[in-house]
Amino acid sequence: MEHAIEQGPIRPPSEAYSLLLRVTRNCPWNRCEFCHIYKGEKFSIRSVEEVKRDIDAVKERVAEIRSLSWQYGFGGEITAPFVNLILQHPGRIPDGYQSVLLWLYSGGKNVFLQDGNNLIVKTGALVEILGYLKETFRSIERITSYARSKTVSKKTIEKLQALGRVGLSRIHIGLETGYDPLLKYIQKGVTAQEHVEAGRKVKASGVSLSEYVVLGLGGKKMWRDHAIETAKVLNRIDPDFIRVRTLKVLRGMPLFEKVARGEFLLMSDDEIVGEERLFI
């Protein structure tokens, strides 16, 4: 197998056993103060042909893994004993096959499109990629992707519906907060109203919507407004999923320097629980 399948750095926790298909590289905004994932990296859109080659490469890996299953007496099935055999002796399959193996073991049903904002891709190109993906793997039931509210707010409902018809099942959006001064402070590049507009468009299109909230993001100074205004925005959107994460400040984040200077005061665990209680 000559073609290496390209993969990005992250995916949502709910996509742990999904096939990871990289459509874009990195993040087109890349200024958020609380994120270090794409800092120093350049954003680019992969061509439809590149992505299709990755899909073809996955198909070949699937065939080779099933052939191994026959070879080791498992009848072509991807069972727990077969997976354990392969993982305990990684030399039995080339590097890079493990993710496809685990995807098959989970049923080969879910796909996550990487990286940070795939809806920036022209709708026609994304429709072509999704169509080819579903045509190649008939077992796929769910396809999900990250997107920025700013980008989604500029999409028409009709374009979102077109993506839904060819298989886009869910959009993951990093809301982070619904408080405008905090959105500005962390350089999210979007307003609370744009969050609402984007979320409502996704809901109206019939595509499932998952919104992420970051507890502790307001620090000791803005925690109350963060909790209350975020709840207001989410009530206006009414997403299918609200996923809560907790701020962790790492080196490489612009926010790290603000913490070091004493400008941003981190909350204690008990304070974050109080913030979450108020938010709920």
Which pLDDT does position 273 carry in this prediction? Answer: 98
Per residue in 83-131, pLDDT tens? 999 988 878 887 778 899 999 999 999 999 999 999 999 999 999 999 9
Task: With respect to residue 8, please indicate whether it lies within any of the assigned structural domains.
Answer: no
Residue 4 within a domain: no
Q: What's the alpha-carbon Rg for the chain, to the nearest Å? A: 21
Over residues 56-79, mean pLDDT: 95
**Range 24-44 average pLDDT:** 96
The C-alpha angle 34, 228, 252, rounded to 5 degrees, equals: 5
Q: What are phi and psi of 215, to 5 degrees?
A: -70, 145
Q: How confident is the model at residue 47 (pLDDT cuts 50, 70, 90)?
A: very high
Q: How far apart are CA 186 and CA 166, in angstroms?
A: 35
Average pLDDT over residues 216-221: 98
Q: Could you tell me if residue 1 is inside a domain?
A: no
With bands split at pLDDT 50, 70 and 90, how would you rate the model's confidence at 142? very high
Confidence of residue 4 (pLDDT cuts 50, 70, 90): confident
Q: CA dist 76 to 17, 73, 141, Å?
A: 20, 8, 21
Asked if pLDDT for residue 166 goes beyond 60, the answer is: yes
- Token couple for 229: 């205004």
User: Looking at the predicted structure, is the pLDDT value of residue 2 above 90?
Assistant: no
Per-residue pLDDT, averaged over 42-49, amounts to 98
Sheet of 241-246: strand order equals 19-22, 110-114, 142-147, 168-176, 208-215, 241-246
Amino acid at 18: S
**Does 272 map to a domain?**
yes
> For the chain, what is the domain count?
1
- Owning domain of residue 208: 13-279
What's the CATH code of the domain at 130? Answer: 3.80.30.20
* Contact yes or no for 267/220 (Cβ under 8 A): yes
Q: Does 220 map to a domain?
A: yes
Kindly tell me if the per-residue pLDDT of 1 is higher than 80. Answer: no
